[in-house]
Amino acid sequence: MGPRRGWRWPSALVAAAMALASCGAGGDEGAVPTLTWYVFDEPSGAYDEAARRCSEQADGRYRIEMAALPSSADQQREQLVRRLAAEDADIDIMGMDVIWTGEFAEAGWLLPWEGEAAAEVSEGVPEPIVASATYEDQLWVAPYTTNTQVLWYRTDRVPEPPETWEEMVRMAEEIGPDGTILVQGARYEGLTVWFNSLLASAGGSVIQGQGDDAEVALGEPAVRAMEVMRNVATSQAADPSLSNAMEDQARLAFETGEASFMVNYPFVYPSAQENAPEVFENMGWARWPAVVAGEASAPPLGGINLGIGAFSEHPELAFEAATCIRSEPHQILAAVNGGLAPTISSLFDTPEVQAAFPFADLLQESLQDAAPRPVSPAYNDISLAIQRTLHPPDSIDPRADLAELEDKVNQALESRGLL
């Protein structure tokens, strides 16, 4: 299927949706249009509750039915891609990883958010989050929940948290055997996240431009980022299993008490509170470390955006329902029940979110400067190029690997079947 940049849904579909909505209002249950929301099976029930509330508030105009996707982002994408490639009309709303925007938009699998609807779902949202939802100057998905990493450290061993990666390595080595640094160094998406934020913190990016204008950037900032990765991996404070470590392995290792530093997502905080209270009592948090002293870091950016399926039979209702799902009350619900940070900045100041995240102010600050991963239809291959070139981290050769990575990313942009 060819590109559909700037695609608009047919007026006939809109008319049909409006007619169905009219018939459904106040009618019997069978006449109410069903909107199917494909999203990962969020364990707290916050997403299900948002769907239930929005269905109730619709007063018979629509009801939302949940379709659970796997917990793995790769498996989520695989299932959605297969359905969308077959122009499945059952997909009305999608919970989308922030890295899928460019691919799904270019493939013609999404309907764009426009006009007042686009303004409403992007108002008060930090620019990096909006950037993750935008492709070629068009908003394609609505920001819903977000995530970022912070530096977790042991306050009983570290009086003041380090500001840079170099300082952290030095402090960790001075602590000794318990000064271990935990990062995500396995050959998977987490390695791309680490490199991308180091690169952005050094003032660079993987690519510049989008669509046909996209080209490889990288350059000297990439060398600086690779040097940080290699220095962490070869230091005396490196986790022995760094090259196999993912988020959960890092969480478990920190809970043993045998590490003093960890970069990870906020889910580790309530986990330590429940599983390792002695560690939790001495658990501090600080901003993701900088690469250049005196310059702010660019922390990782994750999260779930809401996309409207291009083949939905009820597009207007789907936009309305998605707007309800990501509204303020439901973002607060996801934060309190699911530990999923809101995308609306003002919500970080609410008592509910402050209680759910004692480090809410740090999260809000970090999200303002966060580093989106490349928004590109070729993102999957770009990420694989990074993973294959920079793994294992202790074997990185910055200059040689820069040339190899530039070549692989260029192949991905040119769709030359790199990986």
For the four alpha carbons of 400, 406, 407 and 408, in that order, the dihedral sign comes to positive
Please report which residue ranges of 86-219 form alpha helices under DSSP H: 101-106, 115-122, 127-132, 165-175, 189-201
| CATH architecture, domain defined by 11-146+302-368 | 3-Layer(aba) Sandwich (3.40)
For the chain, first and last CA: distance in Å? 21
**Amino acid identity of 340?**
L
- The mean pLDDT value for 321-343 works out to 96
Query: Which position has the token pair 């694989």?
Result: 384
Residue 350 φ then ψ, to 5°? -75, 150
Q: To the nearest 10°, report the CA torsion of 88, 91, 92, 98.
A: -120
pLDDT 10s digits, 61-94: 999 999 999 988 889 999 999 999 999 999 999 9
pLDDT 10s digits, 148-200: 999 999 999 999 999 999 999 999 999 999 999 999 999 999 999 999 999 99
Whether 299 has a pLDDT exceeding 50, the answer reads yes
Of the candidates 75, 116, 50, 83, which has an alpha carbon nearest to the alpha carbon of residue 306?
A: 50
Q: pTM (2 decimals)?
A: 0.88
Range with lowest mean pLDDT among 28-37, 110-119, 263-272, 321-330: 28-37
Q: In this predicted structure, what is the pLDDT of residue 212? A: 83
- The mean pLDDT value for 239-248 works out to 95
Whether 213 has a pLDDT exceeding 50, the answer reads yes
Percent of the chain with pLDDT over 90: 88
What CATH number belongs to 150-299+378-413? Answer: 3.40.190.10
Element (H, E) at 181: strand 180-182
Whether 3 has a pLDDT exceeding 60, the answer reads no
Q: In this predicted structure, what is the pLDDT of residue 30? A: 57
Question: Which ranges in the chain are annotated with CATH 3.40.190.10?
Answer: 11-146+302-368, 150-299+378-413
Q: Which residues contact 76 (CB under 8 A, 6 or more apart)?
A: 40, 69, 70, 97
User: Any idea what the Cα angle at residue 332 is, between residues 327 and 334, rounded to 5°?
Assistant: 95
Of the candidates 357, 359, 360, which has an alpha carbon nearest to the alpha carbon of residue 346?
A: 360
Q: In this predicted structure, what is the pLDDT of residue 25? A: 39
- The mean pLDDT value for 231-237 works out to 97
Percent of the chain with pLDDT over 70: 92
Q: In this predicted structure, what is the pLDDT of residue 24? A: 41
